[in-house]
Amino acid sequence: MTVEAAADPILRIDHVTKRFGGLVAVDDVTFDVKKGEIFALIGPNGAGKTTLFNGITGIFPPTAGRIVFQGREITGAKPHQVAAFGIARTFQNIRLFEYMSSLDNVRLGQHCRMHAKLWDSLFKTPAEHREEQRVTDRAMELLQFVGIEQYTHIYARNLPYGSQRRLEIARALATNPALLLLDEPAAGFTPQEKVELMGLVHKIVDQGITVFLIEHDMKVVMGVSRRIVVLDHGEKIAEGTPEQVRRDQRVIEAYLGTQH
């Protein structure tokens, strides 16, 4: 990867504000996520991290500001359009389709990349048949990629917790994203699982997908991300490398507090 390519912003958060009534959840936040990097957003509970994710993915359009993805403004786009543009996400509280098999969860993820029309589905045309085959193969590949192929035909709700998180990542990858948003992917993980998860994140980036993650665990973030943005009370209070952020006085006060 050339230096220039690395400097390309894939996602630009431009003076984004989100108000809920009198509460300002995200307050005039600006930063860039660069192509091919692992970028982390950290901050204490209630800092507005997930709100920002919801703003990017169209679940809650921002009150003010612009969101630009790959040079195209996506502010206010519907969630399914955002997914089609190439942004996929996972959820802080796992939101799998519980009564669908792992395989079907991942196949569903490919929905917006499929072309079968109603007619094709009704009559099982050869084109539809081939597409289903392709989608199934790809789903198996992804289940293998995240390491849960042994649960292919199990209902998502019956998977162990850690595998559910992995399945959510597989489902998000199925949308064939350029940018993957992970909302606290390591929440509730043991240290060993966290290490494995970070291995998976590196594997994803190696495939050319930019990863933008929210994380609570400072150790995980420091180990994996080159650049970090810190939110507190909806405001951006710091941006930089893990080293810079770690030494930032406001971050220490707001986030790390007395631990250091």
Partner 1 sequence: MRGLLSRLGSILESDPRKNPNAVVYLVLAVATIAFPIGVQVATRGSGSFLISQAADAGVYILLAIGLNVVVGFAGLLDLGYAAFFAIGAYTYAFVASDHLEFTPIHQALHIPFWIALLVGMFAAAGAGAILGAPTLRLRGDYLAIVTLGFGEIVPRLFRNASTWTSGVNGISALDTPALPIWLNGPWSGDALAIVQNFKIIDPLAYYVIMAILVAISVLLVNNLRRSRMGRAWMAVREDEVAAAAMGVNTVGVKLLAFSIGAAFSGFAGTFYGAKLSLVSPENFGFTVSITILIMVVLGGMGNIPGVIVGALLIYYVIFNILPGLPQQASDFANSIGATSLNSPSGDWPGLAGEVQRLKYLIFGLILVLTMLLRPQGLLPSRQRAEELQKGVHDDTTIEDVNAETT
**What is the contact surface with partner 1 in residues (CB under 8 A)?**
20, 25, 45-46, 48-51, 54, 57-60, 78-80, 82-84, 88-89, 91-93, 95-100, 104, 107-109, 111-114, 116, 118, 120-124, 128, 131-132, 135, 155, 157, 171-172, 174-175
Q: Are strands 9-20 and 179-183 parallel, antiparallel or unpaired?
A: unpaired
Kindly state the smallest distance separating residue 109's Cβ from partner 1, in Å.
5
Specify the DSSP element, H or E, that contains 206. Answer: helix 191-206
Nearer CB in complex with partner 1: 40/198: 40
Kindly state the smallest distance separating residue 192's Cβ from partner 1, in Å.
27
Q: Answer whether 31's CB lies under 8 Å from 229's CB.
A: yes
Kindly state the smallest distance separating residue 198's Cβ from partner 1, in Å.
23
Nearer CB in complex with partner 1: 3/115: 115
Nearer CB in complex with partner 1: 12/111: 111
Nearer CB in complex with partner 1: 95/260: 95
Specify the DSSP element, H or E, that contains 221. Answer: helix 218-224
Kindly state the smallest distance separating residue 221's Cβ from partner 1, in Å.
19
Nearer CB in complex with partner 1: 39/60: 60
Kindly state the smallest distance separating residue 169's Cβ from partner 1, in Å.
12
- Within 8 A by CB and 6+ apart from 148, the residues are 102, 159, 163, 166, 167, 170
Instruction: Decide: residue 105, CB within 10 A, 0-12 exposed, 13-18 middle, 19+ buried.
Output: buried
Nearest to 144 by CA among 127, 169, 110: 169
**Count of C-beta atoms within a 10 Å radius of residue 129:** 12
User: How many residues would you count in the chain?
Assistant: 260
Q: Are strands 210-214 and 179-183 parallel, antiparallel or unpaired?
A: parallel
Kindly state the smallest distance separating residue 183's Cβ from partner 1, in Å.
9
Distances (CA, A) of 85 to 54, 71, 88, 153: 15, 11, 9, 29
Q: Answer whether 99's CB lies under 8 Å from 157's CB.
A: yes
Kindly state the smallest distance separating residue 124's Cβ from partner 1, in Å.
5
Nearer CB in complex with partner 1: 50/248: 50
Nearer CB in complex with partner 1: 60/212: 60
